[in-house]
Amino acid sequence: MKAGLGALTARGRSFVASGIAALLCAVLLGEHDLLRIGILILTLPLLAAMVVARTRYRLSCARRLEPQRAEVGVEATVTLRLENVTRLPTGLLLVEDTVPYALGARPRFVLDRVEPQGIREIDYRVRSDLRGRFPIGPLSVRITDPFGLVELARGFTISDTLVVTPQVVPLPHVRLSGEWTGGGDSRSRSVAAAGDDDVAPREYRQGDDLRRVHWRSTARHGELMVRREEQQWQSRGALLLDTRRMAHRGEGPRSSFEVAVSAAASIGVHLAREGLGLRLVTDQGAEHLTEMGLSHSLLDTLAVVRQSQTRSLDYGVTALRQGGGDGLIVAVLGSLRAEEVTALARLRHGSVTGVAVVLDTAVWEHPDAPPSEEYEQVRTVLAGYGWRVARLRSGGSIAAVWPEAARRGGRTPIGNTAGGGGE
């Protein structure tokens, strides 16, 4: 009863106040009819509080997100499944789920009655124009009487997470470098290997093909020996994303930083689907990506990447150099100083292919402006070291400029050949 009285709604408290006032007036004026009215008005919320407080039914709740990863601006569907696990029907239920402000207003629903062992499913949609990981839940259920005089809240503890990823734009297939072997869509074998071809024989195992028996080794060891299967080679690459606040312009979804994140996501997913073993590097160093589900791991990481206060690309360049074994380096860059351009340019040496997507931040607020002098200087230095440079302007699409990644850069300056990459 104490819990019920504490859960009186504004209407319930008004009834109590009106009932008490009617009783006082009835006593002072000696009106018996008013006394009966006062007792009725006062008793009604008290009875409602007793009924609601003594409610003993139990509910189970489950939540499903479809999809669990949604791109910026794309709707996701949340399905709530409520089950009455007792043998008593429920009363009126007010269901409210907890969602962050970025996903919209809190969804509220009214369920009139759930029969014993009954199930109700409720769908609602959420969308966000911001990247991130957003918790959804917990769910709260408010139990009320038919007159709306008493309301008790009961909550669940389970919650789920919706990952809002950057926009991924499909990219055309381009021939990035000359290390691709064979014809068609065959994979690169000159970049790095998942393991060297091991031609040494091993002992025969149950199920091995007898056509792989190595008879010379069998005679030498006195037992059946078979040739090992060649291990698959896998090309490796690195994706550098410039997240420095000072290197970008604009605010919100159309800022150069958000465009850079979307470009990096599009390139990374495209290369992963091409079979490239990829690692992600920012100006703060290397980011951890899982080998299984590389595209999902990359998108999850980019969903929460934020602008940094770092003022130099040194950590990123160092991480690229220490990683080693990359046959392809793709850099998505903002504004750069001369020394940063040179340090980055020297990473391309030998058979390494370098592709730079440079955001022309100097004229970012003027999308129709010609390439800025700053961009031309960056392009000249990178192209001089053999990089392939594409300009990405405000309002432009990474899919439109990606074919420029197939154009070979200029020759490496004298004195800065393969040895320059180890500086």
pLDDT tens figures, 153-167: 788 888 999 999 999
pLDDT band at 205; cut points 50, 70, 90: low
Instruction: Compute the average pLDDT of residues 293-305.
Output: 92
| Cα gap 215→199, rounded to integer Å | 14
pLDDT at 185 over 50: no
pLDDT of residue 190: 35
pLDDT of residue 57: 66
Least confident range from 39-53, 233-247, 310-324: namely 39-53
CB 162 within 8 A of CB 70: yes
DSSP per residue over 17-69, as a string? HHHHHHHHHHHHHT-HHHHHHHHHHHHHHHHHHHHHHT----EEEEEEEESSE
Instruction: Compute the average pLDDT of residues 183-211.
Output: 50
Q: Where are the alpha helices (DSSP H) in 62-164?
A: none
Contacts 24+ apart (CB under 8 A), 182-189: 187/233, 187/234, 187/235, 187/275, 188/233, 188/235, 188/327, 189/233, 189/235
CB 398 within 8 A of CB 357: yes
Task: Report which of residues 409 and 102 the model is more confident about.
Answer: 102
| Cα gap 353→176, rounded to integer Å | 7
| Cα gap 363→382, rounded to integer Å | 20
In Å, what is the CA distance from 220 to each residue of 148, 198, 211, 246, 316?
91, 19, 18, 68, 53
What's the token pair of residue 42? 């006062």
pLDDT at 380 over 90: yes
Task: Report which of residues 341 and 415 the model is more confident about.
Answer: 341
29-31-34 Cα angle (round to 5): 115
pLDDT tens figures, 4-42: 566 787 888 888 888 889 889 988 888 888 888 888 888
162-165-168 Cα angle (round to 5): 145
- pTM listed for this prediction: 0.74
pLDDT of residue 413: 44
In Å, what is the CA distance from 58 to each residue of 6, 27, 47, 120, 123?
21, 44, 21, 14, 21
pLDDT of residue 418: 34
Least confident range from 50-54, 127-131, 289-293: namely 50-54
Instruction: Compute the average pLDDT of residues 361-374.
Output: 92
What's the token pair of residue 339? 């020394």
For the beta carbon of residue 143, count every other beta carbon within 10 angstroms. Answer: 21
pLDDT at 353 over 80: yes
pLDDT of residue 358: 96
pLDDT at 193 over 80: no
Instruction: Compute the average pLDDT of residues 305-322.
Output: 92
pLDDT of residue 157: 87
Sole residue written with tokens 């190595």: 214
Report the chain's mean pLDDT, rounded to a whole number.
Answer: 83
pLDDT band at 183; cut points 50, 70, 90: very low
pLDDT tens figures, 64-79: 999 999 999 999 999 9
Q: For the chain, give the percent of residues with pLDDT over 90.
A: 45
Least confident range from 147-156, 196-205, 265-274, 316-325: namely 196-205
Instruction: Compute the average pLDDT of residues 106-120.
Output: 88
pLDDT band at 2; cut points 50, 70, 90: low
pLDDT band at 142; cut points 50, 70, 90: confident
pLDDT tens figures, 265-278: 999 999 998 888 88
Q: Which range in 4-13, 133-142, 205-214 is most confidently predicted, on average pLDDT? A: 133-142
